[in-house]
Structures are given as C-alpha cells and as structure tokens.
Amino acid sequence: MSANPKFLAATAQVDSAAIQALPQSRKIYEQGSRPDIRVPFREISQDDTPTLFGGESNPPLTVYDASGPYTDPTVQIDIRKGLPELRRAWIDERQDTEVLAGPSSVYGQERLADPALTAMRFELQRPPRRALSGRNVSQMHYARKGIITPEMEFVAIRENMRIEQYIESVRQSGPDGAKLAARILRQHPGQSFGASIPKKITPEFVRDEIARGRAIIPANINHPEIEPMAIGRNFLVKINANIGNSALGSSINEEVEKMTWAIRWGGDTVMDLSTGKHIHETREWIIRNSPVPIGTVPIYQALEKVDGKAEELTWEIFRDTLIEQAEQGVDYFTIHAGVRLPFIPMTADRMTGIVSRGGSIMAKWCLAHHEESFLYTHFEDICDIMKAYDVSFSLGDGLRPGSGYDANDEAQFAELKTLGELTKVAWKHDVQVMIEGPGHVPMHLIKENMDLQLEHCDEAPFYTLGPLTTDIAPGYDHITSGIGAALIGWYGTAMLCYVTPKEHLGLPNKKDVKDGIITYKIAAHAADLAKGHPGSAIRDNALSKARFEFRWDDQFNLGLDPDTAKEFHDETLPKDSMKVAHFCSMCGPHFCSMKITQDVREYAQKQGVSADKALHQGMQEKSIEFMKKGAELYHKT
C-alpha cells in the first residue's frame, strides 16, 4: 500500500500501450516559420466511399494530438532519457536566462545528495535554468513587449488543426470535391456568450490574447520538452487529467504510465497531485517524459515537509518548495491565495465545509495562527518566483463547494472576488494566470459562476473541476460532472479538469483515467460545437458521413476511442465481413434505416437532377423504380 519499493530507475520502461499508433493513424508535423517549429498532428486515413454511396475518396482527416512523440514510430522512446528538448533553442536564443550550477532550493539540493534515492532517481539531472537577475521570462511579458515567441506561433498552428489543408485536400479529391468540402465544413452558427474566436488563429492573435491575459501558454523554461498549448476562451476548450500517488498506493512507474496514458487519449495538461513519499522524484520522472504542461499544488509537498502539521507551515518552507518545483519544470502552480482568514467563518454553516485539500490546509493554518494566509501576504513574492521561470498561476478555489447544497455561497464568491484582485496583481508582474472554479453546482447555478468569474477576473482563463450537477451518483461522477463541464465549457471555461469514476471513492487506475479523459474530451468538444468554434464540426461531419455510408472502420477510427468502439461492435457482429455490412448490428438487415435516403439520392442521380427536384418531378416514376430496387436492397437473410 506504500510507494512501490521495487521501482528502479535503471529498469524503468515506457508503457508499451503508450507507444502504439492509433488505428489507421500516423503522426504528421506542420512546419512553421522556422524548421524547429514542427507542430504535431494525428492524421486518420479513411476508406473510399462504397460505390453504392457515390464511390468518392475521403482524404485523411487531421486531428489535434496531445500524445507527444510517443505515438511517432520514428522516435525512439526511453523514459530513462526523457523526451527531446523541443524548446531549448527558443529559450537559449532569448538570452535572458542563466543555467545554474544545480538546484537552488534547499530541498532540491538535499534530495540530490541523498544516496538512498539514487536507485529511483531520474538519472540525467539537468541543471536548472533561471531568468537573469531582473529579467522576466514569462510568455505574457514577451507578448506585452510585442514579441511573438516560437511558442505562440506553435500554438497558432496547432489551434488551426490544419483545417485549411484538409479542406483543400477534400476539394481536390474528385469532381464533386468542392461540394463535398462545403458539406464537411458546414456547421451551425454557435452561441458563444461573448467569446470571439477568429476563423483562423494567427500568431499575432495568440500574442494579443496572452498580452491581454485572456489566454496562457503554460511553459516553464525548465520544461523544454513540452509541445506548447494555449488555454483561453478563444481557443479550443482543453482538458486536464489529475494523476498522483498518495500515502496509500501507487508507484512512480504507475504515475508515469498514467501520464502517458492520459495524453494518449487527449489530456492537454496533467496535474501531478502526489502526496505520498518521493513526491520530488516522481515529479522529475513525469516532467522529463511529459510533452504536455504539468501542474502541481505545491502546498501538498510543503505539508509533507512538516509531517502533515499544517500549523507548522511557513512562508520559507513554501517558498523553497516553489523554487524546488519551478526548477524541475512545473508549468503551473495551484496557489490557494484566495483562502483568506475572514472567509473561513463563512463556511461554518456549509453542508460539506471546505473540500479543497489546499484550501483546508490553509484554513487550518489561518485558524491556528489567527493570521492572514501567507500565500496572500506574500503574493508578490510568489509572483517574483513565477516570472523567473515562467510558471503560470492557477489560482486555487480553496473554498469551492463540496456539495450542491454549498454551491454559489458567500464563501465561494468572496474567494472568487479575491482571486480577481490577485489576477490583477499577477498581471502587474506580467505573470500568466488562470482561475480555478467549482466543484459541485446544480445546472441552473453554473452560469452565475462563469459570469462572475468573467467579471471579477477580467476574462483570465477559467479552469473548472466539473462541476458535478448532482451528488447522488458516487461511482459515476465522471458523468455527473461531465454534464456540468460541457455546460461551463460552452459558457466560456477554457480548461476542464477531469473527474474520474473513482472521485470521492478511491485512486483512479488506468481504466478510470481513460474514462475520465474520454468523458471530458466529449464535454470539451460539445462545448466547442456549441460555441461555434470554427471547424469544430468537421470531425463530427466526417464521422457521420462514415456512419451513413457504413464505413465501419472509419466510424471507429474517427471517434475518440477506436478500440472500444470496435470491441463493442465486434461483440454483436464479430466477423470481418460485418465491417462492410450495409446495416447496423442494432437493427439487422430488415430494419436498416440509413438506406432510404441513399435510395432517393441514387434515383436522383440517375435522372441527372437534384434529389429534391427528382422527387417533386417524378414521384410516380420513382415509386416504380423504388419498388424494383427495394426488393433488391432489403433481401431476406
């Protein structure tokens, strides 16, 4: 039940499940303005449309890809070496950082010197990098100086998802290419609640959003391995996956596997919430192997350093922890600086009190000392650390509701208002900020959270946990919260923190991680569609087309989880021949409903008129034709 004592650095291996290409998928890269800006995508190839349905070819579809080099068969993965330093040259070129001799945190030095940790330590310890004295290395700082960084350009290319290139390939795919492209690109106008997403994301747009504080690119200079991504209401809605061991279980290996598993299915960032032994070492393994930004809650580790006695926490211990983690490369810190002393009594009549771990630690500290939180009083000191490494704030909602009963109460909104004040302080320092949000909120109270967040925090990205829309389904809180996540994403939340089926019950295993990720990919995508994010309907349209044309494999492969879709299909219709069957396994051949429109269209085509016209012109004739054909199409089994 403790951290696995058998984990040895020397024999650590990548999870074989993480390095398989997804079915019919290949890794492609889109180059930017310089050869070292290579933005990864996944390209899913498709079968031709069966002759019966028109016979056209269906060019491969490009989708956003968070999985990093793992799914690139040309990259040799060795988790003992870590990932390549994609951003190293970009950081070097800016000439505003120095490479230190070693960790500057006391704790970091201690851990490095401890021979008992040698066997489990990530071997290739790279000396940390820090801003030169007086310099600010945050993406926001560059953005405000008018500089478009390679990170920003990378993000711009990534957000565009190669839509133009894909649509062009559809246009060129055959005589009806232009018509087909128009169909595939068509989507309903959205309802964006004030988000304004351009048709094409330019690097300048990214810069402007970062400068404005409306988006962030979490990108610690000590995490050069990341493929930059953006979090903001005018970008694709992102999702975060929480991993981390506790005193009660899970080993370093398992956590690295959870990370590679989470990004395989679409996790855009990963939070390492470890609270057990070897937090430092676990984090090093995760960061060195993570192509996505890593977030942490530094107070967890600070608490371990005082043996779990919240009242013994000090600013000095916390500060050392921030530096320790910043020098490892953590990209964003959850800081519960909004849990102020006067707010704590507001939670006294709650049903479930304070449910945020960080929030409760700070509340305990405040009560024990009868003093204002050191996170609040030292907030500008924290900003100084953040900008020396470009760590982004994730201002924690320590007073979020832990039940629908406590939703939208005085304590919660008092904290939110404080987070708004702190946002402006951070922005004064050009430090990137996002704001954490609830929690447990019934559907009709969700919008108030978004509206107040936009108002108080001046459009700094909102990053919410769920929210869970009911409390009566332990074991299914990925679903109770997926509903709330889709809604708040639609209203404007920039990143959705997943909830797994194990929420409130236990530590998620790999299956839970995947269930959480897929549920949240659904919520995020449903939000993109509802906001009217340009091009977001393309994948839906391509999959629907495949579905209508009985291209079973394409239907599986274009989906979020091809493996499960195929497995489910094969339970009912296991034979390969059934993958080309022109009927659904639900209904059987007699009851296939998808065929009727095809009959109409086929008839129309023969007549050389539009389907609509054909039906109006020649219904009578059609009925004879139809009967003849019908007898063929619906033959008995």
Binding-site annotation: residue ranges for Zn(2+): 440, 504
Report the DSSP beta bridge partners of residue 538: none
How far apart, in Å, are the Cα atoms of 141 and each of 427, 429, 460, 465?
A: 9, 8, 15, 28
Using rule CB under 8 A, residue 55 touches a second copy: no
Nearer to a second copy, 170 or 210 (CB): 170
Binding characters for a second copy, 565-604, by CB under 8 A (x = yes): x-xxx-xxx----------xxxxxxxxxxxxxxxxxx--x
Q: How far is the CB of 565 from a second copy (least distance, A)?
A: 4
Can you list the positions of beta strands (E) in 244-366? 269-272, 294-296, 332-335
Question: CA 26 to CA 557: how far, in whole Å?
Answer: 12
Can you list the positions of beta strands (E) in 508-588? none
Using rule CB under 8 A, residue 363 touches a second copy: yes
Nearer to a second copy, 198 or 474 (CB): 474
Q: How far is the CB of 511 from a second copy (least distance, A)?
A: 11
Residue 71's region, left for phi above 0, alpha for psi from -120 to 50, else beta, is alpha
- β-pairing, 269-272 vs 238-243, is parallel
Residue 388 CB contacts under 8 Å (≥ 6 apart), including other chains: 130, 131, 135, 136, 137, 326
Q: How far is the CB of 54 from a second copy (least distance, A)?
A: 13
Q: How far is the CB of 615 from a second copy (least distance, A)?
A: 4
Using rule CB under 8 A, residue 522 touches a second copy: yes
**From the list 443, 451, 452, 510, which residue makes contact with a second copy (rule: CB under 8 A)?**
443
Burial of 1 (0-12, 13-18, 19+ CB in 10 A): exposed
Nearer to a second copy, 183 or 606 (CB): 183
Using rule CB under 8 A, residue 310 touches a second copy: yes
Using rule CB under 8 A, residue 24 touches a second copy: no
Interacting residues with a second copy between 256 and 295 (CB under 8 A): 275-276
DSSP label of 79: T
Nearer to a second copy, 112 or 367 (CB): 367
Residue 308, phi then psi, degrees to nearest 5: 80, 5
Q: Which residues are annotated as a binding site for substrate?
A: 242, 271, 300, 336, 356-358, 397-400, 436, 463
Using rule CB under 8 A, residue 539 touches a second copy: yes
Count of all residues that appear for the chain in the document: 637
From the list 155-163, 256-264, 383-391, 535-543, the region that binds a second copy by CB under 8 A is: 535-543
From the list 111-119, 211-219, 241-249, 377-385, the region that binds a second copy by CB under 8 A is: 241-249
Count of residues touching a second copy (by CB under 8 A)? 147
Can you list the positions of beta strands (E) in 343-473? 392-395, 433-437, 462-465
Using rule CB under 8 A, residue 606 touches a second copy: no
Question: CA 46 to CA 464: how far, in whole Å?
Answer: 36
Using rule CB under 8 A, residue 615 touches a second copy: yes
Structure token pair of residue 463: 């990053």
Q: How far is the CB of 245 from a second copy (least distance, A)?
A: 10
Nearer to a second copy, 144 or 601 (CB): 601
